[in-house]
Amino acid sequence: MTPADKKHNSSMNAFETVMLYFNRAADVLGLDDASRRLLITAKREIKVEVPVEMDDGRLETLMGFRVQHNNARGPMKGGLRYHPEVDSDEVLALASLMTWKTAVVNIPYGGAKGGIAVDPRSLSKKEKERITRKFVDQIHDIFGPDSDIPAPDMGTDAETMAWIRNQWEKYHGFNPACITGKPVEDYGAKGREEATGRGVGILCFKLLSRLGMRANETRAVIQGFGNVGKHAAKYMYESDYKIVGINDISGGYHNPDGLDIPAALHYVIENNSLEGFEKISTATKVDNKDFLELDCDLLVPAAIGGVITAGNVDRIKAKVIVEGANGPIDADADEVLHRRGVTVLPDILANAGGVTVSYFEWVQNRQYYSWDLNRVRQELEAVLSSAFEEVWQASTEHEVSLRTAAFMIAIKRVKRSLDLSGF
């Protein structure tokens, strides 16, 4: 889930939440109403039918979406998700978040997002491939390396990207830069898979240093042990953090003296889940409903959206929260945390490592050249470190939260491009 998924457990829908954060930053910047309207309005919103024959011969008609939010700073960039709850409101909110995310890390992209309203778990591989190719048939004209570059998101992966590239190239010819998140052996980038979690780890380190907290004295709790959580845990463990709690959909695993993260990483490779991890380790099992309330210094929600709400915020003990997931904190809870002095590193910066390495993939594709893993890691660290420093400075200078500071920087950059080039 993402902010968009909060529509079910928050009074605010996804787009309203993004708008609240946008307007808070726009107020500090003194942005006039006309500029606000220009910046929030999506450039193009597309909704297409995706008729497809299922394996049993049934005809299904699905709905596909692509919202191209803003291209003032470059081609638009954003994932494609397959999820039953994908709708126009969700895609619009996520597309606008991509505009602010690419701007805050200062990569030359705008924002977009798309998806198909379908449960990918209910599909055979062949059905998923047919749906994907049919969707590309409907939208191939509006995306490409210089206009709008899709990427994986929930329910889609490197294989889906390979189908999309193949179908798009049937119309437009060879050009692997039309999409990112491809398989590494097929024009993908080394280090793309670990990038979001690694970025979360890098940014935790930067933030803690600024707050005068040492990694080896910091007790961290990480929610979610999928792509983001797992790689964040690996990086943080190797950087000497004491990780006292991890969880996934199967439950939470806790050890106040620190968990054996290499064993947990090995366990999920073998078992596809943390289920039963307490039996082979020194961890004790914790119910997921109590997990976020574990005693810790740093909390990294890296699973789904809307998990810290007005209902549980008063029981959260962490002094620092780094948003690995998109929108894990509801707007109401965000306000309470801010008042309580809890430092929150917002999703638009905290989980931007993935889109940053997607950008590196696109750069490599355009150069017909492949970087080694070390170069990817170094460049990722450089991009995230400088974005962090800018956000930290703006937050200190304007006495605003890191979230408002991140939105302010992003809005200023997009506005400047519009002012320079026109619209």
Residue whose CB is less far from ligand NAD, 306 or 415: 306
Q: How many CA atoms lie within 13 A of 381 on its CB side?
A: 11
- DSSP state, residue 68: E
133 token code pair:
């190719």
The yes-or-no answer on residue 126 being catalytic is no
Residue whose CB is less far from ligand NAD, 26 or 224: 224
Residue 16, Cβ density class (10 Å: 0-12 exposed, 13-18 middle, ≥19 buried): middle
List 7, 43, 113, 128, catalytic entry: 113
Q: Which residue's CB comes closest to ligand NAD?
A: 226
Closest contact distance (angstroms) between CB of 421 and ligand NAD is 28
Residue whose CB is less far from ligand NAD, 144 or 226: 226
Closest contact distance (angstroms) between CB of 353 and ligand NAD is 8
Closest contact distance (angstroms) between CB of 248 and ligand NAD is 3
With DSSP H G I counted as helix, E B as strand and the rest as coil, what are the percentages for the chain, rounded to 5?
50, 20, 30
Residue whose CB is less far from ligand NAD, 358 or 365: 358
Q: How far is CA 35 from CA 40, 92, 417, in A?
A: 9, 18, 12
Contact 177, 145 (CB under 8 A): yes
φ/ψ (deg, to 5) at 198: -60, -40
Q: Which residues contact 169 (CB under 8 A, 6 or more apart)?
A: 175, 178
Residue with structure tokens 């450039």?
A: 43
Contact 258, 244 (CB under 8 A): yes
Residue whose CB is less far from ligand NAD, 101 or 413: 101
Closest contact distance (angstroms) between CB of 101 and ligand NAD is 8
Closest contact distance (angstroms) between CB of 269 and ligand NAD is 13
Rounded CA gap, 175 and 254, in Å?
Answer: 47
Residue with structure tokens 């109401």?
A: 332
Q: How far is CA 341 from the centre of its chain?
A: 25
Closest contact distance (angstroms) between CB of 68 and ligand NAD is 19
Q: Which residues contact 63 (CB under 8 A, 6 or more apart)?
A: 47, 48, 49, 50, 86, 116, 117
Closest contact distance (angstroms) between CB of 389 and ligand NAD is 21
Closest contact distance (angstroms) between CB of 164 and ligand NAD is 17
Q: Which residues contact 330 (CB under 8 A, 6 or more apart)?
A: 6, 9, 10, 12, 17, 306, 308, 309, 310
Nearest Cα to 131, choosing from 63, 78, 79, 183? 63
H-helix segments, 187-296: 192-210, 227-238, 261-271, 288-291
Which positions lie near ligand NAD, rule CB under 6 A? Answer: 2, 196, 223-229, 247-249, 288, 302-305, 324-326, 351, 354
Residue whose CB is less far from ligand NAD, 5 or 297: 5
Residue whose CB is less far from ligand NAD, 10 or 227: 227
Buried b (16+ CB within 10 A) or exposed e, 238-273: eeebbbbbbbbeebbbbbeeebbbeebbebbeeeee
Residue whose CB is less far from ligand NAD, 10 or 196: 196
- Catalytic residue ranges: 113
